[in-house]
Structure 1
Amino acid sequence: MRPCEDNQKGCEVYPEMNAEPVNSTDSRQNRSDNLLLCCVLFSPSDSCELKLDTNTAHRNLVLSEDNRKVTEVREEQPYPDHPERFDHWKQILCNDGLTGRCYWEVEWKAGVSVGVTYRGISRRGDSDDSALGWNKNSWSLICHGSGVFSVCHKKIETYIPFPSSSNRVAVYLDWPAGSLSFYSVSSDTLIHLHTFCNTFTQPLYPDFGFRSHDSSVSLCQITHTHTHTQSNKTSSK
């Protein structure tokens, strides 16, 4: 079953995952009429060890914790000139382009964008061509400081009516199947926020954007599996 197709219960079943619907009598089902609880085990081989590309970092971004954390600061950093460095939008890419099935998690603070882009995203100027999610070459989940989420692609921003107090999100890319899914992570529970369905034509690079001073993103170590709480009405192309 392709991730972008619904089965009879509206649950997304990914390749190399095991999904078992929770008994309909489970008391947690009362939480929302349009939520389906599933137990999902991501294959360990799907977890990605991301590495940030320092040559792309905007000069108002500081890397720390062995280059696993990025923080927006007021003071420009003395980074050398580089043709791949973002000069307006406060963004940074990861080193490796992804073309398989990949899962990663990040912790965020104070408002950030988490997404993927083709390598050819513009690095110069303040146009939409270089802003994560605001062009045809990138897709993003915007984590607002208020705890509200939205998703953006090709200048279309859609708010997700599922506020969360968690500051940890997960991304699952199934490049061959053409799906990009975002989740809120709370304890051991994955809450599905949105899935983009597309036909990807190039490797996708994880990208992070920063929306205010002191906002930050930290790459997380994946050491466990999660229970999956699936919302079945949040997909787009």
Structure 2
Amino acid sequence: MAEFSISVVQDEFSCSVCLDLLKNPVTIPCGHSFCMVCINKCWDEEDQKKIYSCPHCRHTFTSRPVVSKNTMLAEVVEKLKKTRLQAAPPDHSSADPEDVECDFCTGRKHKAVQSCLVCLASFCEAHLQPHYQSPAFKKHKLVKASRRLQEQICSQHDKLLEVYCRTDQQCICMLCMLDDHKAHYTVSLAAEISEKQKQVVETQRKYKERIQQREKELQELTEAVENHKRSAQTAVKDSEKIFTEMILSIESIRSEVRQMIRDQEKAAVSRAEERLKRLKQEITELKRRDADLEKLSFTEDHIHFLQVTNTKFILDCLHHLLKEVQIILPPEPKSREDFLQYSCQLTLHPNTAHKLLLLSERNTVVTRSKTVQPYPDHPDRFDEWPQVLCRESLLKQRSHSPVYEQFVWQFGRCSARPDGRCSYTQLLMNSAELRQWEDFTAF
């Protein structure tokens, strides 16, 4: 009874905003009391509307009332707090929104610890004591506190659902067995729960097996994706390396071609300048002779004129003129020594070498090997005949002759001989014909 009285008094001194005992209580003009912080917070939110209202009775004020602490009410609240602390059991706790509230608590609801299936109510520790102490409650069935008590009671007979009808797949009470479910297949609720639990365990086992299988598939798929990524990365690196080598090779060839063009340009300009010099000299000489003939044509010494202009003199002059402008060509090379003066060192291309050929000395020497060399795969590599290609190079210019200017190295193909030595064929081209010359050893 003391606890009930305290609860009633506490409700009278509770703030209608925070629902707790008043803290620094203030009384507004309509007569209701609130915590000073609570009423100021409410009116702060209404400042924009300039209309203030009582949170309890909704009475409005055109101007914001000035509030001050109600000293007498504050003393009463402090005494009430002390009385509540002395009377209330130390283990009583207020119910949180997610907890089940005690159906017998008035005012502040405490957390329910158990529910009674006979009383169809939930009780806190204090209000549950009669079920432990009074013989009248000995047969009441207590369960864990639940908000779903009505679902455990038969809506037709208001009795506890204790039986499960497997025919209709529903829970029934004892009276239902005698009426609508008289001839049905029924078992106790505990037996059905036990059977359902076995089914749940079996279903969980199957789910776990499927989860393990899916996790294994997921891991395998993840590994496959990683392998694909690594393979793609390796392919990208290899392709970058190949293209880099190709670019460097093209740059080298471009540099060689540029140099060849510059050399040819220099040689051509030099020859042209030499010829221009000769032509200027010839023109000077011809002008001098023309001047002499011009003087001779106006001479009055007829005897001298006839002596100078005889046929032999004219023919000799013309012959001398043609002889001076004739281009003397050197003889074409015929022997090995003649060709060697136009030769140059060839470099063997490692990407074309057969895997039974061994390159050494900066790719200038090749020998036949009995073991397969670890060359990387390349589309230009020989795989049938033991051969290797040479890098294309230009013949060094040794003469200003127009004939020899057209000699170039066209192609060098090296073949390994049975004795391990290497030979290659030189193909030379001049302005008249394409000739294939004899093989000669490189070393």
TM-score class, shorter-chain normalisation, is: 0.3 to 0.5
- TM normalised by structure 1 equals 0.33
The structure with the largest alpha-carbon Rg is 2
The structure with the greater share of residues assigned to strand is 1
Q: Which is bigger in relative contact order (C-alpha 8 A, separation at least 6)?
A: 1
- TM normalised by structure 2 equals 0.19
The structure with the greater share of residues assigned to helix is 2
